[in-house]
Amino acid sequence: MKRIAVIGSSGGNLYNLGGKDPDKLMGEIAAQCASAGVEIGGVQFISASESMDTAKETTSAILYEWSSEDERLLKRSEGTLKEVNQAATEMDMQTAGLIQSGQIDGLIVMSADPERANRLTIEAAAERKIPVVGTGGTSMALISSKGANVIATSGTTGTTNRTRAVSFITSLCKHWGLKFVPVLGSPGTAKLPSSGKPWRRINLKGIMQSSLPGFIAMAIVLALSQIPALKGLSEVFDVMLKALPVVLAVIAAKQISDLDEVSIVAGVIAGALSINGGIIGGIIGGIGAGLLVQFLFVKCVQWKFPMTTVNIVAGGFAGLISGLIMYYLIAPFALQAGEFIKYIINIAISFNPIVAGVIGGLLIWPAILGGVYHAAILPIVLLEMEKTGNSFLGAIDMVGLVMVSAGITLANIIAPRDKGEAAVAAPGFLINMGFGTFVEAAYPFMFSNKWVFAGAICSAGVGGGLVGVFNVRGTAYVPSFMGPFLSNNVIGFMISMAVALLLSLAVTLVANKAARNRKQVAEQNVSAQQSA
């Protein structure tokens, strides 16, 4: 197993690009090392409380070392920058000794001080000709002039902790002839390979769920624009409508490549050029940008481009290529696909809105229990909201799921089967009413009593039918008292919500009472048998 040492400081420009957070910076390097099968043999890192460009000898600083057992940074010394630099010279001797004894095979340098705090380490690396990679224009130039075997160097502008870590380990592994698959995901979380089959990371459900706050914000702006004094917000709504594809593109690009700001920039560029394709266009553009970001990033690193250039090419070109393809080739078809889906929904609703509402209400609980809701219904809700800011299925969501769940949990607060169930039901009811979500709160009561389960489905069907009667368009995921005001029919939505809640409440109260009576009878029978 190859072993590396990491030396340097929080730097000048580096300070504002991740250097001021040593734990995160080293966490990214450690994650890539683990993927490559490379061990961290030592760290000497000086973290100042401000950029080294403005730091003075009296600036507070911390000297970090590496704990191989815990695989994390530990504080070795703390004080003024002058004091920490003095302590660093001791570590410099130790790191140089490891290199001279052959225990270090490669060196990562970030804004180091080759003249003082890191002088012995650099001299040892030059003598042993071990590969050196790093960032920091001035320090890397000095290191090269000392005869070190620098195989990759770059400035820090435009880089991130993750892109630097991937670049460092890619260059070292290529030098050693080791296979390296970069990993994605924050340190300490599940990580995914950034090469191989990246399309496996495409998760439409995740993209839709993550983008939901944008749609809710748009719905709120639409509702506020209906107030005479706030009519000017209608222009804001139009702007937000155009921004939705950008939101989806950014989420999609970051989901696939997860290269921090690089993937975000690519997603913004692709999304801006995918606006004419609607939200479907934004998703496709973002997916394309994410795939290209990863491909171009890895290739540019392998070609030994400077890190700043790698980020520019990966972020800028990936977004531009994907966006231009969307703009000129795919956007019109993506827009038509979305319009066709909405057209089919509108035909079904206009044919018989009451029947459509009842069917939607009856099916929405089986859909969420079967895992279909987020994969099929939520995308349709968002497609509807893209055009009008609210949705027929969104109204059924609020009425058939949220209000029914609220009714079930409220019943178990008022008259539970067992005393302990009230404590379980209360938080669920408050979240249902206060946030318009967490319908899962009703699951324990639905699964333990078939009458409550049947009552939930029937209540949702009745509520959905009323949504059809009043031809309501609305949304969930907002406080229940706000729901009606974000709809196209305030009174109709309020009636639909109230009926669904009260019906599920009544059914659950009756079911709970029957369960309590059966329990009492059973206890009496047991007591009678014991007496006999």
The beta strand positions in 259-365, using DSSP E, are none
What does pLDDT average to over the chain?
87
Is 531 contained in some domain?
no
Question: What's the chain's length in residues?
Answer: 532
Is 532 contained in some domain?
no
pTM over 0.85: no
pLDDT in tens, 212-227: 888 888 878 877 887 7
Residue with token string 């509807």: 384
**Same domain, yes or no, for 37 and 150?**
yes
- The pLDDT assigned to 195 comes to 46
Label residue 307 by pLDDT band (50, 70, 90). confident
- DSSP collapsed to 3 states, 344-378: HHHHHHHHCHHHHHHHHHHHHHHHHHCCCHHHHHH
Q: Which residue among 125, 159, 193 closes a domain?
A: 193
pLDDT in tens, 411-456: 999 999 887 888 889 999 999 999 888 898 999 999 989 999 999 9
**Same domain, yes or no, for 281 and 363?**
no
Contact 194, 294 (CB under 8 A): yes
Q: How many domains does the chain have?
A: 3
Of 314-328, 346-360, 440-454, the poorest mean pLDDT is in 346-360
Is 128 contained in some domain?
yes
The beta strand positions in 69-144, using DSSP E, are 72-80, 106-110, 131-135
**Which comes out higher in pLDDT, residue 63 or 344?**
63
Of 25-34, 238-247, 370-379, the poorest mean pLDDT is in 370-379
Tell me the C-alpha distance between 110 and 130, whole Å: 16
The average pLDDT across 126-151 equals 90
- The pLDDT assigned to 194 comes to 46
The average pLDDT across 3-21 equals 90
Residues contacting 326, CB < 8 A, separation 6+: 270, 273, 274, 277, 281, 284, 285, 288, 334
pLDDT at 487 over 50: yes
Give the domain CATH number at 60.
3.40.50
**Same domain, yes or no, for 319 and 363?**
no
Contact 103, 131 (CB under 8 A): no
**Which comes out higher in pLDDT, residue 519 or 91?**
91
Contact 215, 228 (CB under 8 A): no
**Same domain, yes or no, for 328 and 237?**
yes
pLDDT at 318 over 90: yes
**Same domain, yes or no, for 318 and 261?**
yes
Is 290 contained in some domain?
yes
What percentage of the chain exceeds 70 in pLDDT? 96
Is 182 contained in some domain?
yes
The average pLDDT across 260-281 equals 91
Label residue 193 by pLDDT band (50, 70, 90). very low
For residue 241, give its domain range: 199-343
- DSSP collapsed to 3 states, 33-67: HHHHCCEEEEEEEEEECCCCCCCCCCCEEEEEEEE
pLDDT at 146 over 50: yes
Cα-Cα-Cα-Cα torsion 432, 207, 390, 278, nearest 10 degrees, comes to: 180
Label residue 12 by pLDDT band (50, 70, 90). confident
Tell me the C-alpha distance between 397 and 467, whole Å: 10
**Same domain, yes or no, for 386 and 323?**
no
Coil, strand, or helix at residue 110?
strand
Of 193-197, 250-254, 398-402, the poorest mean pLDDT is in 193-197
Around Cβ 371, how many Cβ atoms within 10 Å? 10
- The pLDDT assigned to 197 comes to 64
Label residue 505 by pLDDT band (50, 70, 90). very high
Contact 442, 428 (CB under 8 A): yes
Tokens read off for 199: 């399309």
Tell me the C-alpha distance between 94 and 102, whole Å: 13
Tell me the C-alpha distance between 164 and 269, whole Å: 22
Label residue 13 by pLDDT band (50, 70, 90). confident
Coil, strand, or helix at residue 72?
strand
Of 73-87, 247-261, 275-289, 462-476, the poorest mean pLDDT is in 247-261
- The pLDDT assigned to 188 comes to 44
Total H helices, total E strands in the chain: 20, 9
Is 485 contained in some domain?
yes
Q: Which residue among 165, 193, 221 closes a domain?
A: 193
pLDDT at 190 over 50: no
Contact 74, 64 (CB under 8 A): yes
